[in-house]
Structure 1
Amino acid sequence: MVFPFVVQAAPADFDVAKRIAQKIYSDEPTDFYCNCPIRWVGGKGQLDLRSCGYQVRKNGPRAQRVEWEHVVPAQQFGSGRACWQQGGREQCGDQDQTFRRMEADLFNLRPALGEVNGDRAHFRFAELPDTPPQHGACPVRIDFKRQLAQPRPEIRGDIARIYFYMADRYQLQLSAAEQQLFLRWHQQDPVDDRELALMRRTAQQMGHQNEFVSGNKRWYPGYLSHQTTLNSTAAGLPPEPKAKTITSQSPVRGNKNSKKYRFSHCSGYALIKAANQREFANVQAAEAAGFQLAGNCQTQQR
């Protein structure tokens, strides 16, 4: 792609990325999840909650501000890394250059109403027709017990293409169920002019496109298995040490109460009460059921 302006260097960390994102979205009329009007003043977004029928669920001050949402949550792209299992997000930010690149990737950021950003947390996306809305007229639906979130239909394709991009560029695993969901959303909500324009602005900063928005790439079931080696080289990603990688096909045990899963070598694996245990054949099956890797679970030795 030939850019009409000078291509900038991709942001080095999340703080820099947020400042750049304010410029990219300086004319964005509404927030991502609730479609509430935004008035941008000095790079800061001011929300008009009354006009969009938003009702504060719990955190009034946070509902008043615009935050920069990681559509693919930091926990999802960070929890499998050694730094996260040793000290969480803070340690990854201090020690892991690849994590910082993922955290600062502008294609993964959207301006979101702060309370909804907090409520969505690291929850995975799903369709939740039986879950009532909790934020007035804001169409997002969140199932806190199962840790799932349903976005409004108008942004579902945008979300799918962000997930495709992040999985493709950083070799993130998507379960079969996630891929089916996102492929359906991609088809139901195709790229529009606004999404394409924002992608081009972002590409000027990142130095490359989201090719699932431009149409240069197309996701299909099994895509990652054919692309892993090629993309590792193209993205210049340093491999994780082999002794610290997860064997995704290993059996795992989930805790029905916490919705966390562990490998047999993990602390707490044997302490899960029998009534709360749920066995899975592999990581993909656990994550498709809405379970996530326990934070104190070290990665599997190969």
Structure 2
Amino acid sequence: MKWLAKFTTLSFLLSVTFTASAAPNDFSQAKRLLRDHVYNDQNQTAGGDFYCGCKWEWVGKSGGRMDPNSCGFQATKQASRATRLEWEHVAAISAVAQQRQCWRDGGRENCQRTDPVFNRMEGDMFNLVPSIGTANALRSNINYGMVSGPSMPLGACTTKIGTTVRAVEPRNEVKGEAARITFYMADRYNIRLSDQQQRVLVAWDRSYPVSAWEKERDRRIAYSMGHHNPFVTGERQWVPGYKPLAEGIASGSAQPQTQKASESPLKSSQLSSAGAVRGNSKSNVYHLTQGCPSYEQISQRNRVEFETEAAAVKAGYRKAGNCA
């Protein structure tokens, strides 16, 4: 049955290539892409969620229902979120955003409303992992580190959330992944890491090499983001004194990737002129300047500009039903 396995793999690759090749413009888009093209077949695997290894069932467009019993998870605080799948920012978004003026002027909501660069930071798929909601809530924006002394009881979950030491020590299975994701975010968005953080993360990076799933995750996300995590592929290595390249800030205002007409699922006669296609990131519907009455009604916060209809379709959008 080797031919069947090869066919299945090829089919999956093709589906990812043609449906998830434009980087998300915000957190909502990122969650949908992660569900549909990265973690779609991972909800019942041995790896489970990031912090505790719990399995889950998909629910809605980007969420899921966690099964705490599958990993022996128990908690006395935030217990109501134990059955919720939540998308965790490995590098806390507050740390990512502190350099943005929008954050200083009004925090997260202000950034989401006014700063497209922040929206791309918040929706960077490499920094998002599925997490059991309680662990996500208890971690909050605490930095990763080694936890000595008492920690919050989480049942069989081996992630440690310190109660006297303000640090979170993820389970061994994801320590290396956590380090390489943090390095990526620090490098891409010019985030400062303390000397203590760097020492711990460098040690985790060396002690827990890149796993097969981490390589596969990187490959799947790269189809949407348009680049890899170089700390996973081995192109870069974090060392003390490393100077971030800040590529994400330099390119953060770029428009979504477009595709060549020859590759488009639309006929060439259906392609719109440049700048004439506007998407709504909340509904994943696009509108044209001509024949679509809602073109000007999309709020600034939800606007996504495309050069062609082909680019909008490739990013997962569909044409508005009220277009002529």
User: Fold conserved (TM > 0.5)?
Assistant: yes
Give the structure 1 partner of residue 214 of structure 2. Answer: 195
Q: Which runs of structure 2 are paired with 1:185-264 in the superposition (5 Å)?
A: 185-224=204-243, 227-228=244-245, 231-232=246-247, 235-237=250-252
CA RMSD across the alignment: 2.1
Q: 1:158 aligns with which of 138, 160, 177?
A: 177
Question: Normalising by structure 2, what TM-score?
Answer: 0.67
Q: Which runs of structure 2 are paired with 1:21-100 in the superposition (5 Å)?
A: 21-23=34-36, 24-28=38-42, 29=45, 30-40=48-58, 44-100=63-119
SS at 2:21 equivalent: coil
Alpha-carbon deviation of 1:145? 5.2
- The more displaced of 79-88 and 26-35 is 79-88
Give the structure 2 partner of residue 14 of structure 1. Answer: 27
Gapped runs of 5+ residues in structure 1? 239-302
* Counterpart contact for 1:133–1:140, Cα < 8 Å: no
SS at 2:54 equivalent: coil
Task: Report % sequence identity.
Answer: 41
Deviations 1:32-69 (A, max 9, x none): 10111223356542322123221132223311110000
- The more displaced of 49-58 and 199-208 is 49-58
Change (3 A) 1:44 1:84: closer
* Counterpart contact for 1:53–1:137, Cα < 8 Å: yes
- The more displaced of 165-174 and 128-137 is 128-137
* Counterpart contact for 1:133–1:139, Cα < 8 Å: no
Whether 1:131 and 2:150 are equivalent positions in the alignment is yes
Question: Normalising by structure 1, what TM-score?
Answer: 0.72
Change (3 A) 1:233 1:193: closer
Q: Distance in 2 between matches of 1:195 and 1:16?
A: 22
* Counterpart contact for 1:142–1:150, Cα < 8 Å: yes
Change (3 A) 1:119 1:172: same
Whether 1:107 and 2:109 are equivalent positions in the alignment is no
Q: Distance in 2 between matches of 1:137 and 1:215?
A: 33
Give the structure 2 partner of residue 241 of structure 1. Answer: none
